[in-house]
Amino acid sequence: MCPSGFPNVIGAIDCTHVPIKAPPGPNEGDFVNRKGFHSVNVQMVCDSMFHITNVEAKWPGSVHDSRIFRESHLCTLFERGDFDGILLGDRGYACRQYFMTPFPEPNPGPQTRYNAALARTRARIEMTFGQLKGRFQCLKSLRVAPDRACDIIVACAILHNIATIRKERTPVVGVQPDDDLQPVHLDQPSGRAARDRIVEHHFSI
């Protein structure tokens, strides 16, 4: 995917909140996210060309990014060994053998270079979110029921890919602010070992 030093990157992953109107019923509170508005929390993966290669649009705004990935079909496929490559994500996810995240407190040198390269590469998913919402202004606030909102989000992702393949005009996207998710500290030992190997082999020069 990238020239930043990571081997065999399949994509960058993150979640983005799409605001919706408050749904009626007892589950209304589930859709209130940590910023206090109703939303659907949508997981996406993109490649180096800003194509959306995976989308998971079904979770209420209160659900944490790490849970969305953990319970996704994509996670099942990676756990089963169906992919030969890695995902890049932020500290809102646990580090796994196939899922690289930043060092929380990097040492100077290789770990710092690793974190910088990961941040540069992972920025593509934030830019993809910006392009998607720039192309489809409706995603700034969907005044429909949650299930309908999810259908619209997936349709917009498909249309975004078509526009990208056809090299249509790309919306001007400002720098997307980093999210303020609480870091996940349940890194898997195999994930930390894989991250250390990548640092040793690709960022120690």
Q: What is the pLDDT of residues 167-199, one digit of tens each?
A: 999 887 765 555 555 665 578 999 999 999 999
Q: Is the pTM of this model over 0.85?
A: yes
| d(C-alpha 201, C-alpha 197), whole Å | 6
Q: In the chain, what are the domain boundaries?
A: 9-199
Query: What's 111's DSSP letter?
Result: H
Helices 189-202 and 110-135 cross at an angle (nearest 10°) of 100
Q: Note the pLDDT of residue 1.
A: 45
Give the bridge partners for 38, in sequence order: 32
Q: Note the pLDDT of residue 176.
A: 56
